[in-house]
Structure 1
């Protein structure tokens, strides 16, 4: 089955692997081009080599960095603006350049909540990506950045209410609020055939494993819990101007495996 090229846009190194590592590995294995834009952390910081290792595991090319600082980690990009503080115009322009350069069929990013944790960098990345995807399709905007490009599908990595009742204790630290969406709005993608690649990418983020963040909790989990925590990915399909509606988000046939005809 031919699958479209995919560009991920995520806030931090490791978000790509945790949120969409299975999707990216799936498309790369089918021969599609895949890539990842990471909004925070800059060249010369310790997490960029980890990101490069993770992307190699997923078949997603070299890091594409916007170079902003993590909201909570100023040393992630010394001297740079925090992503949450950056003016919209320059950040959208950077993303339009990436979109027109890569020309993906699909884009995947965070949902409006910023994923289950509601991280402010995730929410900002969501907003900027939605603006950039629409701007990239308009010839009158940023003509100096190349020919316009219309993405066919925009997917938002998310967690449904139902599954999250079981998964939140595994994915979140005690006392954290889980931000989730109604089950009816979500398509489930079984990524168990690519779970080894996804986990290898997650574990490439060694500093996150060592500090006990979610990659560390996955590393310490049993095989069964790893499958529960990372073997399914969930996406919302975000409607775009000029594209047909696509119930089910990933495909027209299967809400469980992603099998069937793709756009």
Structure 2
């Protein structure tokens, strides 16, 4: 999930999580945040709103919920626009952040998440309503009516993205995490958080003044949606983090107005209990030059993942050798010269297979494994079984057998050259960033 090494010279990994309301951070990313904080990473949290329009679970605090009384919900609400609930939820957020090991927490529109020259501002919760069930039978959130013009989802995108970009430039995170394009389940503030994050990463990487140097975020990730509609990229890599369950449980318990916790289950305002898990999924967020660079890097995989990729690479090499051997003997005469076009086509087949496996696995080493497997198979085919082998020592046979080895070596050398150039380019960019900061 992470860049190969932290961009900062101090060797500390920096992660920035961007969420819409207090409690979102604990529900969807709490385990991951706690696990990285425990490992020594610097975990920061940006929250867009204070959750003024959230529903309230505890009976004794129901008066804080705007719009009460409601059928079946006794009590008289305080018509303060949600200011009282905002204070309570801010206190809950502070406690939850402490449980997760988050040392830097801020609201959007307050320093350092404040665009240069802008006046501090508090963005309001936009509210939501539940839409009808879709074709899949799942209900998703939609905008409430009416929406306050000062609500987070209603203000211009570049305004809020400018604040988030200022924070990114100040923190210089290695990783930025927010929602997928559908906001996870459709909440307008979650959707806006995604849009803001994408735009903020772009703005943060643009040329800035000396006091606010540009920062290209190395990698951006989207939280896997729990009610996916069209917000997840089917081609982007998915990563699962086994986070800190104990810390996540404690953080959820801190959000008592929004979450009920019992043992290894939790419930939201619908009071429907569901399993409490710290295994959280993320998907590469394709945005900005840094994220594109991260997409080209080898991803972290388990041993079983590597074993599967290695088997597939070997199998592809063997198949290429089989079909190439069947083809290599074809030739034609051009005047007095023999043209071994079959061997040439067979070598093109092997070269294409090696390159495709390297690109598919995003690991040049596995492309070399494919080439080595093809060559080993050709050596076996050249061993006589009876009077002659399947590959004999003539022009076509020698071109095919030794050509496979040549293709593999050529791929290895070209991969090494490209890797060296990529490292040099990253070092030049990092050197430029360090120069801009000094």
- For the aligned pair, the TM-score class normalised by the smaller chain equals 0.7 to 0.9
Superposed displacement of residue 87, structure 1: 1.4
The correspondence for 1:254, drawn from 301, 324, 333, is 301
User: Matches of residues 28-39 of structure 1 in structure 2 within 5 Å?
Assistant: 28-39=37-48
Deviation at 1:202, TM superposition (A): 1.9
Task: Give 5+ residue unaligned stretches, structure 2.
Answer: 7-12, 52-82, 109-121, 129-147, 305-438
Cα distance change, pair 255–17 in 1 and its aligned pair in 2 (3 A): farther
Separation of aligned partners in 2, 1:133 and 1:256: 33
2:219 to 153, 171, 175: 153
- CA distance in 2: counterparts of 1:35 and 1:144, whole angstroms: 24
Match of 1:100 among 145, 166, 169: 169
In the other structure, the counterpart of 2:179 is: 110
Compute the RMSD of aligned alpha carbons: 3.7
Q: Are 2:250 and 1:208 aligned? A: no
- Tell me how far apart the structure 2 counterparts of residues 29 and 2 of structure 1 sit (CA, whole Å): 18
Q: Whose relative contact order is higher, 1 or 2, with alpha carbons under 8 Å and at least 6 apart? A: 1
From 207, 219, 222, the counterpart of 1:139: 207
Alpha-carbon contact 1:156-1:238 (below 8 Å) kept: no
TM-score by length of 2: 0.46
Is 1:70 the counterpart of 2:125? The answer is yes
Name the residue aligned to 1:19: 28
Conservation of the 8 A alpha-carbon contact between 1:9 and 1:38: yes
Which residue does the alignment assign to 1:187?
238
Deviation at 1:234, TM superposition (A): 3.1
Residue 63 of structure 1: how far off its partner (Å): 2.8
Alignment-derived partner of residue 173 in structure 1: none
Corresponding residue number in structure 2 for 1:57: 99
Residue by residue over 1:106-149, the C-alpha shift from the partner in whole angstroms, topping out at 9 and shown as x without a partner, is: 0000110101x111100011101111111111114xx3761111
Q: In structure 1, the residue corresponding to 2:160 is in which secondary structure?
A: helix
**d(CA) in 2 for partners of 1:113, 1:68:** 21
Moved over 4 A (4+): 177-180, 217-222
Q: Distance in 2 between matches of 1:124 and 1:239?
A: 16
Q: Is residue 30–residue 251 contact of structure 2 (8 Å, CA) maintained in 1? A: yes
CA distance in 1, matches of 2:259, 2:157: 32
Which residue in the other structure is 2:336 paired with? none
- How far is 1:233 from its partner? 2.5
Give how far 1:210 is off: 5.2
1:133-173 deviations in whole A, cap 9, x for unaligned? 11111114xx37611111100010013xxxx6xxx6xxxxx
Please list every run of 5 or more consecutive structure 1 residues that lacks an aligned counterpart in the other structure. 74-78, 169-176, 258-263
Q: Residues 121, 215 of structure 1: CA spacing in aligned structure 2 closer, same or farther, 3 A cutoff?
A: farther
Aligned residues: 229
Structure 1 length as normaliser, TM-score?
Answer: 0.73
Displacement after TM superposition at 1:185 (Å): 3.3
Instruction: State the structure with more CA Rg.
Output: 2
CA contact (8 A) 2:221 2:282 kept: no
Tell me the residue number matched to 2:313.
Answer: none
Structure 1 distance, partners of 2:266, 2:126, is 20
SS of match in other structure, 1:253: coil
Give, in angstroms, the shift of residue 8 of structure 1: 0.7
Question: Aligned to 1:47, which of 78, 82, 89?
Answer: 89
Residue deviations 1:18-73 (CA, integer Å, cap 9, x gap): 22212211221111111100001188621111111111111112431123111118
Q: CA deviation at 1:90?
A: 2.1
